[in-house]
Amino acid sequence: MRTLTLIRHGKSSWDDSSLSDWERPLKNRGKKDALLIGNKLKEESIFPDKIASSSAKRAYDSAKRIAECLEYPESEIAITDDIYFATMDQLIGIIKNLNNDWEHVFIFGHNPYFTDLSNNFGKKLIANLPTTGVYQITFECEKWNDISTENGKCSYYLTPKEFKQ
CATH code of 69's domain: 3.40.50.1240
Neighbour order of strands in the sheet with 134-139: 78-80, 50-54, 104-109, 2-8, 134-139, 152-158
**Structural domain total, the chain:** 1
Q: Are 8 and 131 in contact (CB under 8 A)?
A: yes
The pLDDT of residue 165 = 42
Within a domain: 36 = yes
pTM: 0.95
Asked if residue 17 is part of any domain, the answer here is no
Q: What is the pLDDT of residues 14-48, one digit of tens each?
A: 888 887 878 988 999 999 999 999 999 999 999 99
Q: At what angle do helices 88-96 and 113-122 cross, to 10 degrees?
A: 60
Query: Cis peptide before 112, with omega less than 30 degrees from 0?
Result: yes
In a domain, 43, yes or no: yes
Name the residue range of residue 108's domain. 2-11+22-163
Q: What whole-number distance in Å separates Cα of residue 117 and Cα of residue 113?
A: 6
